[in-house]
Structure 1
Amino acid sequence: MTYREIRQTALRQSAVDCGCRPEDFLQERPVIVESAPNRNARKYLDLPFVCDLVSYGSNVVASIDGRYRELVAGYLERFPAEHCFETPALHVLDDAFRPHGMRVWYMAEYFLPDPAALRQYGCPYPLRLLGPRDFAGLYLPAWSNALCEKRKELDVLGVGAYDGERLVGLAACSADCDGMWQIGVDVLPGARRQGVAAALTSRLTGEIFARGKVPFYCCAWANIKSARTALKCGFRPAWAEVTVRPVLSIPVL
Protein backbone atom coordinates (compact mmCIF):
# COMPACT_ATOMS: atom_id res chain seq x y z
CA MET A 1 0.00 0.00 0.00
CA THR A 2 1.12 3.56 -0.62
CA TYR A 3 0.89 6.23 2.07
CA ARG A 4 -1.92 7.86 0.09
CA GLU A 5 -3.90 4.61 0.15
CA ILE A 6 -3.24 4.20 3.87
CA ARG A 7 -4.41 7.75 4.55
CA GLN A 8 -7.54 7.21 2.46
CA THR A 9 -8.31 4.13 4.57
CA ALA A 10 -8.01 6.23 7.72
CA LEU A 11 -10.15 9.02 6.28
CA ARG A 12 -12.89 6.53 5.42
CA GLN A 13 -12.79 5.09 8.93
CA SER A 14 -12.87 8.53 10.54
CA ALA A 15 -15.88 9.33 8.36
CA VAL A 16 -17.64 6.23 9.70
CA ASP A 17 -16.73 7.18 13.27
CA CYS A 18 -17.90 10.78 12.91
CA GLY A 19 -20.89 10.24 10.63
CA CYS A 20 -19.57 12.39 7.79
CA ARG A 21 -17.90 12.03 4.39
CA PRO A 22 -14.13 11.40 3.97
CA GLU A 23 -13.80 14.60 1.95
CA ASP A 24 -15.20 16.62 4.88
CA PHE A 25 -11.78 16.34 6.56
CA LEU A 26 -10.13 18.05 3.58
CA GLN A 27 -12.25 21.21 3.53
CA GLU A 28 -11.00 24.68 4.41
CA ARG A 29 -13.97 25.46 6.67
CA PRO A 30 -15.18 23.61 9.78
CA VAL A 31 -17.77 20.88 9.24
CA ILE A 32 -20.38 20.02 11.89
CA VAL A 33 -22.38 16.77 11.75
CA GLU A 34 -24.70 15.01 14.19
CA SER A 35 -23.22 11.92 15.77
CA ALA A 36 -25.02 8.58 15.58
CA PRO A 37 -24.24 4.96 16.50
CA ASN A 38 -22.54 2.94 13.76
CA ARG A 39 -21.68 -0.75 14.05
CA ASN A 40 -18.63 -0.20 11.82
CA ALA A 41 -17.09 2.49 14.01
CA ARG A 42 -13.98 1.84 16.08
CA LYS A 43 -15.08 -0.53 18.83
CA TYR A 44 -13.87 1.55 21.76
CA LEU A 45 -15.76 4.70 20.78
CA ASP A 46 -18.76 5.62 22.90
CA LEU A 47 -21.27 6.71 20.26
CA PRO A 48 -23.14 8.94 19.84
CA PHE A 49 -20.65 11.64 20.82
CA VAL A 50 -21.50 14.69 22.87
CA CYS A 51 -18.72 16.44 20.94
CA ASP A 52 -15.74 14.95 19.14
CA LEU A 53 -13.33 17.19 17.22
CA VAL A 54 -11.12 15.66 14.53
CA SER A 55 -8.52 17.34 12.35
CA TYR A 56 -6.36 15.92 9.58
CA GLY A 57 -4.69 19.33 9.29
CA SER A 58 -6.98 21.24 6.94
CA ASN A 59 -9.99 21.95 9.13
CA VAL A 60 -11.98 20.58 12.06
CA VAL A 61 -14.84 18.11 11.73
CA ALA A 62 -17.10 18.19 14.79
CA SER A 63 -19.33 15.18 15.42
CA ILE A 64 -21.85 16.30 18.01
CA ASP A 65 -25.09 15.94 19.87
CA GLY A 66 -27.33 18.38 17.96
CA ARG A 67 -28.31 20.18 21.15
CA TYR A 68 -24.82 21.71 21.27
CA ARG A 69 -24.56 22.83 17.63
CA GLU A 70 -24.59 26.55 18.40
CA LEU A 71 -22.03 26.16 21.19
CA VAL A 72 -19.62 24.16 19.01
CA ALA A 73 -20.13 26.34 15.94
CA GLY A 74 -19.19 29.40 17.97
CA TYR A 75 -16.02 27.71 19.19
CA LEU A 76 -14.94 26.62 15.70
CA GLU A 77 -15.60 30.06 14.27
CA ARG A 78 -13.59 31.73 17.01
CA PHE A 79 -10.36 29.72 16.75
CA PRO A 80 -8.21 28.42 13.85
CA ALA A 81 -8.18 24.63 13.44
CA GLU A 82 -4.74 24.13 14.97
CA HIS A 83 -5.66 26.11 18.11
CA CYS A 84 -8.92 24.20 18.72
CA PHE A 85 -6.85 21.32 20.13
CA GLU A 86 -4.75 23.19 22.66
CA THR A 87 -5.03 25.51 25.62
CA PRO A 88 -5.96 28.29 26.14
CA ALA A 89 -8.67 27.71 23.50
CA LEU A 90 -9.69 24.39 25.07
CA HIS A 91 -10.47 26.20 28.31
CA VAL A 92 -13.14 28.10 26.39
CA LEU A 93 -14.68 24.84 25.14
CA ASP A 94 -14.48 23.26 28.58
CA ASP A 95 -16.08 26.28 30.24
CA ALA A 96 -18.89 26.29 27.67
CA PHE A 97 -19.74 22.63 28.27
CA ARG A 98 -19.37 22.68 32.05
CA PRO A 99 -22.86 24.09 32.78
CA HIS A 100 -24.25 21.14 30.78
CA GLY A 101 -22.40 18.62 32.97
CA MET A 102 -19.76 17.96 30.32
CA ARG A 103 -15.98 18.35 30.24
CA VAL A 104 -13.15 17.97 27.74
CA TRP A 105 -11.70 14.51 28.28
CA TYR A 106 -9.68 12.63 25.63
CA MET A 107 -6.90 14.44 23.76
CA ALA A 108 -4.71 12.40 21.44
CA GLU A 109 -2.58 12.36 18.32
CA TYR A 110 -2.80 9.50 15.82
CA PHE A 111 -0.04 8.22 13.54
CA LEU A 112 -0.09 6.25 10.29
CA PRO A 113 2.79 4.27 8.75
CA ASP A 114 4.61 5.66 5.73
CA PRO A 115 5.75 2.63 3.67
CA ALA A 116 8.68 4.61 2.27
CA ALA A 117 10.01 5.21 5.79
CA LEU A 118 9.38 1.82 7.41
CA ARG A 119 12.31 -0.25 8.58
CA GLN A 120 12.88 -3.16 10.92
CA TYR A 121 14.88 -2.75 14.13
CA GLY A 122 16.65 -5.26 16.30
CA CYS A 123 17.21 -5.27 20.05
CA PRO A 124 19.23 -7.32 22.58
CA TYR A 125 16.31 -9.67 23.24
CA PRO A 126 14.80 -12.40 21.06
CA LEU A 127 11.34 -11.60 19.71
CA ARG A 128 8.38 -13.99 19.58
CA LEU A 129 5.12 -13.65 17.67
CA LEU A 130 2.14 -14.01 20.03
CA GLY A 131 -1.57 -14.63 19.65
CA PRO A 132 -4.70 -14.38 21.85
CA ARG A 133 -3.91 -17.63 23.70
CA ASP A 134 -0.57 -16.17 24.79
CA PHE A 135 -2.25 -13.09 26.24
CA ALA A 136 -4.31 -14.95 28.85
CA GLY A 137 -1.98 -14.25 31.78
CA LEU A 138 -0.77 -10.85 30.57
CA TYR A 139 -3.70 -8.61 31.48
CA LEU A 140 -1.63 -6.84 34.10
CA PRO A 141 -0.74 -3.17 34.74
CA ALA A 142 2.70 -3.71 33.18
CA TRP A 143 1.10 -4.44 29.80
CA SER A 144 -1.87 -2.07 29.94
CA ASN A 145 -0.84 -0.09 26.84
CA ALA A 146 -0.36 -3.18 24.72
CA LEU A 147 -3.45 -5.07 25.92
CA CYS A 148 -6.92 -4.01 27.08
CA GLU A 149 -8.65 -6.22 29.64
CA LYS A 150 -12.05 -4.62 28.99
CA ARG A 151 -11.90 -5.61 25.31
CA LYS A 152 -9.88 -8.84 25.34
CA GLU A 153 -11.70 -10.14 22.30
CA LEU A 154 -10.13 -7.39 20.17
CA ASP A 155 -6.51 -8.24 21.06
CA VAL A 156 -5.50 -10.28 18.05
CA LEU A 157 -1.72 -10.21 17.58
CA GLY A 158 1.45 -9.33 19.45
CA VAL A 159 5.23 -9.46 19.52
CA GLY A 160 7.08 -10.11 22.78
CA ALA A 161 10.71 -9.50 23.75
CA TYR A 162 12.07 -12.15 26.11
CA ASP A 163 14.99 -12.31 28.50
CA GLY A 164 15.12 -16.07 28.73
CA GLU A 165 11.51 -16.98 29.54
CA ARG A 166 10.75 -13.59 31.09
CA LEU A 167 8.72 -11.15 29.02
CA VAL A 168 10.38 -7.73 29.13
CA GLY A 169 8.57 -5.95 26.29
CA LEU A 170 5.27 -6.34 24.49
CA ALA A 171 3.67 -4.71 21.46
CA ALA A 172 0.17 -5.87 20.63
CA CYS A 173 -2.66 -4.71 18.42
CA SER A 174 -6.41 -4.57 18.76
CA ALA A 175 -8.81 -5.09 15.86
CA ASP A 176 -10.60 -1.83 16.56
CA CYS A 177 -12.34 -1.80 13.17
CA ASP A 178 -12.47 -3.92 10.04
CA GLY A 179 -9.54 -2.39 8.18
CA MET A 180 -7.32 -0.89 10.89
CA TRP A 181 -5.53 -2.39 13.90
CA GLN A 182 -4.19 -0.18 16.69
CA ILE A 183 -0.71 -0.77 18.14
CA GLY A 184 0.16 -0.36 21.82
CA VAL A 185 3.55 -1.06 23.38
CA ASP A 186 5.01 -1.53 26.88
CA VAL A 187 8.59 -2.19 28.01
CA LEU A 188 9.62 -3.06 31.57
CA PRO A 189 11.83 -0.41 33.24
CA GLY A 190 14.96 -2.58 33.26
CA ALA A 191 14.78 -3.17 29.51
CA ARG A 192 14.21 0.42 28.40
CA ARG A 193 16.61 2.57 26.35
CA GLN A 194 17.81 -0.49 24.46
CA GLY A 195 15.68 -0.15 21.33
CA VAL A 196 13.09 -2.67 22.50
CA ALA A 197 10.01 -0.52 21.78
CA ALA A 198 11.19 0.22 18.23
CA ALA A 199 12.03 -3.43 17.58
CA LEU A 200 8.62 -4.59 18.80
CA THR A 201 6.67 -1.86 17.00
CA SER A 202 8.47 -2.27 13.69
CA ARG A 203 8.04 -6.06 13.74
CA LEU A 204 4.35 -5.83 14.63
CA THR A 205 3.76 -3.21 11.93
CA GLY A 206 5.07 -5.63 9.32
CA GLU A 207 2.95 -8.47 10.68
CA ILE A 208 -0.20 -6.32 10.52
CA PHE A 209 0.48 -5.32 6.91
CA ALA A 210 1.07 -9.00 6.08
CA ARG A 211 -2.48 -9.69 7.23
CA GLY A 212 -3.94 -7.04 4.96
CA LYS A 213 -4.71 -4.50 7.69
CA VAL A 214 -3.56 -0.92 8.25
CA PRO A 215 -1.69 -0.38 11.54
CA PHE A 216 -2.20 2.86 13.44
CA TYR A 217 -0.63 4.27 16.57
CA CYS A 218 -1.95 6.71 19.17
CA CYS A 219 -0.44 8.63 22.05
CA ALA A 220 -1.09 11.67 24.20
CA TRP A 221 0.43 15.03 23.22
CA ALA A 222 3.05 14.92 25.99
CA ASN A 223 4.05 11.26 25.62
CA ILE A 224 7.27 12.20 23.85
CA LYS A 225 8.93 8.81 24.21
CA SER A 226 5.94 7.10 22.61
CA ALA A 227 5.79 9.62 19.76
CA ARG A 228 9.53 9.14 19.18
CA THR A 229 9.01 5.39 18.86
CA ALA A 230 6.28 5.95 16.28
CA LEU A 231 8.42 8.36 14.25
CA LYS A 232 11.49 6.13 14.44
CA CYS A 233 9.48 3.21 13.07
CA GLY A 234 8.23 5.21 10.07
CA PHE A 235 4.88 6.45 11.38
CA ARG A 236 3.79 9.99 10.57
CA PRO A 237 1.36 12.32 12.41
CA ALA A 238 -2.02 11.88 10.68
CA TRP A 239 -4.86 13.30 12.74
CA ALA A 240 -5.70 14.81 16.13
CA GLU A 241 -8.80 14.21 18.21
CA VAL A 242 -10.45 15.79 21.26
CA THR A 243 -13.57 14.40 22.93
CA VAL A 244 -16.07 15.94 25.36
CA ARG A 245 -17.89 13.61 27.75
CA PRO A 246 -20.30 13.79 30.71
CA VAL A 247 -18.58 14.55 34.01
CA LEU A 248 -20.05 11.43 35.64
CA SER A 249 -18.26 9.21 33.08
CA ILE A 250 -14.83 10.71 33.80
CA PRO A 251 -12.80 8.72 36.35
CA VAL A 252 -11.37 10.64 39.32
CA LEU A 253 -7.57 10.36 39.47
Structure 2
Amino acid sequence: MTNNDILNIAIKQSAIDSNCHMDDFKSFENKVVISGDNKNARKYLELPFLCDLTSYGNNIVASVSEELSTIVTEYINKYPVEHCFETPNLHVLIEKLKPFNMNVCFMAEYFLPDMTVIKPIECDYETKILEAADFKDLYLPEWSNALCEKRKHLDILAVGAYDKGKLIGLAGCSADCDSMWQIGIDVLPAYRKQGIASCLTNKLAFEVLARNIIPFYCCAWSNIKSARNAIKSGFKPAWVQVTVRTNDFIFDINR
Protein backbone atom coordinates (compact mmCIF):
# COMPACT_ATOMS: atom_id res chain seq x y z
CA MET A 1 0.00 0.00 0.00
CA THR A 2 1.10 3.56 -0.68
CA ASN A 3 0.84 6.47 1.72
CA ASN A 4 -2.08 7.75 -0.33
CA ASP A 5 -3.88 4.40 -0.04
CA ILE A 6 -3.37 4.42 3.73
CA LEU A 7 -4.50 8.03 4.11
CA ASN A 8 -7.68 7.39 2.13
CA ILE A 9 -8.53 4.37 4.29
CA ALA A 10 -8.08 6.49 7.42
CA ILE A 11 -10.20 9.32 5.99
CA LYS A 12 -12.91 6.84 5.02
CA GLN A 13 -12.98 5.59 8.62
CA SER A 14 -13.07 9.14 9.98
CA ALA A 15 -16.05 9.83 7.72
CA ILE A 16 -17.83 6.82 9.23
CA ASP A 17 -16.97 7.99 12.74
CA SER A 18 -18.02 11.58 12.09
CA ASN A 19 -21.16 10.80 10.05
CA CYS A 20 -19.96 12.69 7.00
CA HIS A 21 -18.43 12.16 3.55
CA MET A 22 -14.76 11.48 2.77
CA ASP A 23 -14.59 14.62 0.64
CA ASP A 24 -15.52 16.71 3.68
CA PHE A 25 -12.02 16.09 5.07
CA LYS A 26 -10.35 17.02 1.77
CA SER A 27 -12.11 20.35 1.44
CA PHE A 28 -10.52 23.67 2.38
CA GLU A 29 -13.80 24.78 3.93
CA ASN A 30 -14.94 23.73 7.39
CA LYS A 31 -17.87 21.38 7.72
CA VAL A 32 -20.38 20.91 10.55
CA VAL A 33 -22.47 17.73 10.60
CA ILE A 34 -24.87 16.19 13.08
CA SER A 35 -23.30 13.18 14.74
CA GLY A 36 -24.94 9.79 14.54
CA ASP A 37 -24.35 6.22 15.65
CA ASN A 38 -22.74 3.77 13.24
CA LYS A 39 -21.98 0.10 13.83
CA ASN A 40 -18.86 0.44 11.66
CA ALA A 41 -17.33 3.24 13.72
CA ARG A 42 -14.22 2.69 15.84
CA LYS A 43 -15.37 0.50 18.72
CA TYR A 44 -14.08 2.70 21.56
CA LEU A 45 -16.02 5.76 20.40
CA GLU A 46 -19.19 6.66 22.25
CA LEU A 47 -21.57 7.90 19.60
CA PRO A 48 -23.27 10.13 18.84
CA PHE A 49 -20.67 12.79 19.70
CA LEU A 50 -21.59 15.86 21.68
CA CYS A 51 -18.84 17.65 19.81
CA ASP A 52 -15.81 16.24 18.02
CA LEU A 53 -13.41 18.33 15.95
CA THR A 54 -11.27 16.41 13.46
CA SER A 55 -8.65 17.82 11.10
CA TYR A 56 -6.32 16.27 8.56
CA GLY A 57 -4.76 19.70 8.09
CA ASN A 58 -6.86 21.42 5.45
CA ASN A 59 -9.99 22.12 7.42
CA ILE A 60 -12.10 21.05 10.40
CA VAL A 61 -14.97 18.60 10.32
CA ALA A 62 -17.12 19.11 13.40
CA SER A 63 -19.44 16.25 14.28
CA VAL A 64 -21.86 17.63 16.85
CA SER A 65 -25.20 17.37 18.59
CA GLU A 66 -28.04 19.60 17.41
CA GLU A 67 -27.80 21.81 20.49
CA LEU A 68 -24.12 22.63 19.91
CA SER A 69 -24.30 23.13 16.17
CA THR A 70 -24.51 26.92 16.19
CA ILE A 71 -21.78 27.64 18.74
CA VAL A 72 -19.38 25.15 17.16
CA THR A 73 -20.01 26.56 13.68
CA GLU A 74 -19.22 30.05 14.92
CA TYR A 75 -16.11 28.84 16.74
CA ILE A 76 -14.43 26.87 13.93
CA ASN A 77 -15.10 29.64 11.42
CA LYS A 78 -13.68 32.37 13.66
CA TYR A 79 -10.07 31.13 13.96
CA PRO A 80 -7.47 29.42 11.74
CA VAL A 81 -7.77 25.63 11.71
CA GLU A 82 -4.69 24.93 13.82
CA HIS A 83 -5.63 27.56 16.43
CA CYS A 84 -9.01 25.93 17.04
CA PHE A 85 -7.15 22.98 18.61
CA GLU A 86 -5.04 24.98 21.03
CA THR A 87 -5.19 27.63 23.70
CA PRO A 88 -5.88 30.50 23.98
CA ASN A 89 -8.57 30.12 21.30
CA LEU A 90 -9.84 26.85 22.75
CA HIS A 91 -10.92 28.75 25.87
CA VAL A 92 -13.55 30.49 23.74
CA LEU A 93 -15.19 27.14 23.01
CA ILE A 94 -14.83 26.06 26.63
CA GLU A 95 -16.71 29.14 27.83
CA LYS A 96 -19.52 28.48 25.37
CA LEU A 97 -19.83 24.89 26.64
CA LYS A 98 -20.33 25.82 30.29
CA PRO A 99 -24.14 26.33 30.10
CA PHE A 100 -24.41 22.79 28.68
CA ASN A 101 -22.42 21.23 31.55
CA MET A 102 -19.76 20.13 29.05
CA ASN A 103 -16.06 20.69 28.53
CA VAL A 104 -13.17 19.74 26.29
CA CYS A 105 -12.02 16.28 27.35
CA PHE A 106 -9.77 14.47 24.87
CA MET A 107 -7.06 16.12 22.74
CA ALA A 108 -5.15 13.64 20.64
CA GLU A 109 -2.81 13.32 17.68
CA TYR A 110 -2.99 10.28 15.40
CA PHE A 111 -0.19 8.70 13.38
CA LEU A 112 -0.14 6.47 10.28
CA PRO A 113 2.74 4.42 8.89
CA ASP A 114 4.94 6.30 6.43
CA MET A 115 5.62 3.73 3.71
CA THR A 116 8.45 5.85 2.29
CA VAL A 117 10.56 5.59 5.44
CA ILE A 118 9.36 2.65 7.54
CA LYS A 119 11.86 -0.21 7.72
CA PRO A 120 12.38 -3.12 10.12
CA ILE A 121 13.88 -2.19 13.50
CA GLU A 122 15.65 -4.59 15.84
CA CYS A 123 16.62 -4.38 19.52
CA ASP A 124 19.02 -6.28 21.80
CA TYR A 125 16.33 -8.60 23.16
CA GLU A 126 14.41 -11.61 21.92
CA THR A 127 11.01 -10.76 20.45
CA LYS A 128 7.96 -12.95 19.88
CA ILE A 129 4.68 -12.56 18.01
CA LEU A 130 1.76 -13.27 20.36
CA GLU A 131 -1.79 -14.24 19.49
CA ALA A 132 -4.75 -13.58 21.82
CA ALA A 133 -4.36 -16.90 23.64
CA ASP A 134 -0.72 -16.06 24.38
CA PHE A 135 -1.46 -12.82 26.23
CA LYS A 136 -4.72 -13.71 27.98
CA ASP A 137 -2.95 -13.58 31.37
CA LEU A 138 -1.18 -10.27 30.68
CA TYR A 139 -4.00 -7.91 31.54
CA LEU A 140 -1.93 -6.27 34.27
CA PRO A 141 -1.21 -2.61 35.16
CA GLU A 142 2.25 -2.70 33.58
CA TRP A 143 0.74 -3.59 30.19
CA SER A 144 -2.31 -1.32 30.30
CA ASN A 145 -1.31 0.70 27.22
CA ALA A 146 -0.64 -2.37 25.11
CA LEU A 147 -3.78 -4.27 26.20
CA CYS A 148 -7.22 -3.02 27.22
CA GLU A 149 -8.96 -4.82 30.08
CA LYS A 150 -12.35 -3.31 29.16
CA ARG A 151 -12.19 -4.47 25.54
CA LYS A 152 -10.31 -7.77 25.67
CA HIS A 153 -12.26 -9.15 22.76
CA LEU A 154 -10.75 -6.50 20.47
CA ASP A 155 -7.12 -7.28 21.32
CA ILE A 156 -5.93 -9.28 18.34
CA LEU A 157 -2.17 -9.37 18.18
CA ALA A 158 0.93 -8.41 20.19
CA VAL A 159 4.72 -8.47 20.08
CA GLY A 160 6.69 -9.05 23.28
CA ALA A 161 10.35 -8.44 24.15
CA TYR A 162 12.04 -10.82 26.58
CA ASP A 163 15.15 -10.69 28.73
CA LYS A 164 16.10 -14.30 29.57
CA GLY A 165 12.45 -15.32 29.44
CA LYS A 166 11.12 -12.29 31.35
CA LEU A 167 8.63 -10.09 29.50
CA ILE A 168 10.08 -6.56 29.49
CA GLY A 169 8.09 -4.85 26.74
CA LEU A 170 4.79 -5.37 25.00
CA ALA A 171 3.14 -3.79 21.98
CA GLY A 172 -0.47 -4.78 21.38
CA CYS A 173 -3.13 -3.84 18.86
CA SER A 174 -6.88 -3.74 19.09
CA ALA A 175 -9.25 -4.27 16.18
CA ASP A 176 -11.00 -0.94 16.64
CA CYS A 177 -12.64 -1.22 13.23
CA ASP A 178 -12.53 -3.50 10.20
CA SER A 179 -9.81 -1.62 8.33
CA MET A 180 -7.63 -0.17 11.12
CA TRP A 181 -6.02 -1.57 14.26
CA GLN A 182 -4.63 0.68 17.00
CA ILE A 183 -1.19 0.03 18.51
CA GLY A 184 -0.31 0.64 22.15
CA ILE A 185 3.08 0.09 23.81
CA ASP A 186 4.50 -0.51 27.30
CA VAL A 187 8.10 -1.09 28.41
CA LEU A 188 9.14 -1.80 32.00
CA PRO A 189 10.86 1.28 33.52
CA ALA A 190 14.24 -0.44 33.99
CA TYR A 191 14.41 -1.27 30.27
CA ARG A 192 13.44 2.07 28.74
CA LYS A 193 15.64 4.18 26.44
CA GLN A 194 17.08 1.07 24.79
CA GLY A 195 15.03 1.14 21.59
CA ILE A 196 12.62 -1.54 22.76
CA ALA A 197 9.46 0.54 22.29
CA SER A 198 10.27 1.49 18.70
CA CYS A 199 11.34 -2.07 17.87
CA LEU A 200 8.08 -3.59 19.17
CA THR A 201 5.86 -0.87 17.69
CA ASN A 202 7.60 -1.27 14.35
CA LYS A 203 7.39 -5.07 14.32
CA LEU A 204 3.71 -4.99 15.20
CA ALA A 205 3.04 -2.42 12.48
CA PHE A 206 4.59 -4.75 9.89
CA GLU A 207 2.54 -7.69 11.22
CA VAL A 208 -0.65 -5.65 10.87
CA LEU A 209 0.25 -4.41 7.38
CA ALA A 210 0.93 -8.01 6.33
CA ARG A 211 -2.72 -8.72 7.11
CA ASN A 212 -3.84 -5.85 4.82
CA ILE A 213 -4.96 -3.82 7.84
CA ILE A 214 -3.79 -0.28 8.59
CA PRO A 215 -2.01 0.16 11.94
CA PHE A 216 -2.53 3.51 13.63
CA TYR A 217 -1.03 5.09 16.73
CA CYS A 218 -2.48 7.72 19.05
CA CYS A 219 -1.15 9.91 21.82
CA ALA A 220 -1.81 13.23 23.51
CA TRP A 221 0.27 15.89 21.76
CA SER A 222 1.89 16.70 25.10
CA ASN A 223 3.23 13.13 25.31
CA ILE A 224 6.58 13.81 23.66
CA LYS A 225 7.98 10.37 24.48
CA SER A 226 5.08 8.64 22.76
CA ALA A 227 5.13 10.94 19.72
CA ARG A 228 8.88 10.36 19.32
CA ASN A 229 8.30 6.63 19.50
CA ALA A 230 5.68 6.83 16.75
CA ILE A 231 8.03 8.71 14.44
CA LYS A 232 11.03 6.50 15.24
CA SER A 233 8.89 3.43 14.54
CA GLY A 234 8.08 4.64 11.03
CA PHE A 235 4.86 6.58 11.57
CA LYS A 236 4.02 10.18 10.75
CA PRO A 237 1.33 12.61 12.00
CA ALA A 238 -1.94 12.25 10.10
CA TRP A 239 -4.85 13.86 11.95
CA VAL A 240 -5.88 15.49 15.22
CA GLN A 241 -9.06 15.37 17.26
CA VAL A 242 -10.60 17.30 20.13
CA THR A 243 -13.60 15.69 21.80
CA VAL A 244 -16.10 17.23 24.21
CA ARG A 245 -17.69 15.24 27.03
CA THR A 246 -19.97 16.05 29.96
CA ASN A 247 -18.47 17.43 33.15
CA ASP A 248 -19.69 14.34 35.00
CA PHE A 249 -17.73 12.10 32.64
CA ILE A 250 -14.60 14.23 33.11
CA PHE A 251 -15.05 14.21 36.89
CA ASP A 252 -15.22 10.40 36.93
CA ILE A 253 -11.96 10.17 34.97
CA ASN A 254 -10.15 12.56 37.29
CA ARG A 255 -11.49 10.84 40.39
Partners in 2 of 1:77 and 1:207 — Cα distance? 41
Partners in 2 of 1:110 and 1:245 — Cα distance? 19
Please list the CA deviations of residues 53-110 of structure 1 after superposition, one character each: whole Å capped at 9, or x if unmatched. 0000000000000111111011112111101111111111111111111010000000
Is residue 209 from structure 1 mapped to residue 209 from structure 2 by the alignment?
yes
Alignment-derived partner of residue 74 in structure 2: 74
Unaligned runs of 5+ in 1: none
Paired residues in the alignment total 253
Please list the CA deviations of residues 206-234 of structure 1 after superposition, one character each: whole Å capped at 9, or x if unmatched. 10011110000001111111111111122
Partners in 1 of 2:2 and 2:28 — Cα distance? 25
Query: What code does the residue aligned with 2:91 have?
Result: H
Q: Is 1:19–1:63's contact at 8 Å kept on the other side of the alignment? A: yes
Partners in 2 of 1:217 and 1:224 — Cα distance? 13
Alignment-derived partner of residue 142 in structure 1: 142
Q: Is 1:117–1:233's contact at 8 Å kept on the other side of the alignment? A: no
Is residue 252 from structure 1 mapped to residue 250 from structure 2 by the alignment?
no
Query: What code does the residue aligned with 2:57 have?
Result: G
CA RMSD of aligned residues (A): 0.8
Please list the CA deviations of residues 2-27 of structure 1 after superposition, one character each: whole Å capped at 9, or x if unmatched. 00000000000000000001110111
TM-score (ref. length: structure 2): 0.97
After TM superposition, give the deviation of residue 160 of structure 1 in Å: 0.2
After TM superposition, give the deviation of residue 143 of structure 1 in Å: 0.8
Is residue 175 from structure 1 mapped to residue 206 from structure 2 by the alignment?
no
After TM superposition, give the deviation of residue 33 of structure 1 in Å: 0.3
Partners in 2 of 1:93 and 1:133 — Cα distance? 45
Runs of 4+ more than 4 Å apart:
none
Q: Is 1:52–1:63's contact at 8 Å kept on the other side of the alignment? A: yes
Map 1:103-142 to 2 at 5 A. Answer: 103-142=103-142
Query: What code does the residue aligned with 1:151 have?
Result: R
Provide the secondary structure at the position in 2 that maps to 1:78. coil
Is residue 190 from structure 1 mapped to residue 184 from structure 2 by the alignment?
no
Provide the secondary structure at the position in 1 that maps to 2:40. coil
Is residue 29 from structure 1 mapped to residue 26 from structure 2 by the alignment?
no
Q: Is 1:30–1:61's contact at 8 Å kept on the other side of the alignment? A: yes
Provide the secondary structure at the position in 2 that maps to 1:225. helix
Partners in 2 of 1:19 and 1:198 — Cα distance? 34
Partners in 2 of 1:210 and 1:73 — Cα distance? 41
Unaligned runs of 5+ in 2: none
Partners in 2 of 1:162 and 1:70 — Cα distance? 54
Provide the secondary structure at the position in 1 that maps to 2:171. strand
After TM superposition, give the deviation of residue 140 of structure 1 in Å: 1.4
Alignment-derived partner of residue 151 in structure 1: 151
Q: Is 1:109–1:219's contact at 8 Å kept on the other side of the alignment? A: yes
Query: What code does the residue aligned with 2:172 have?
Result: A
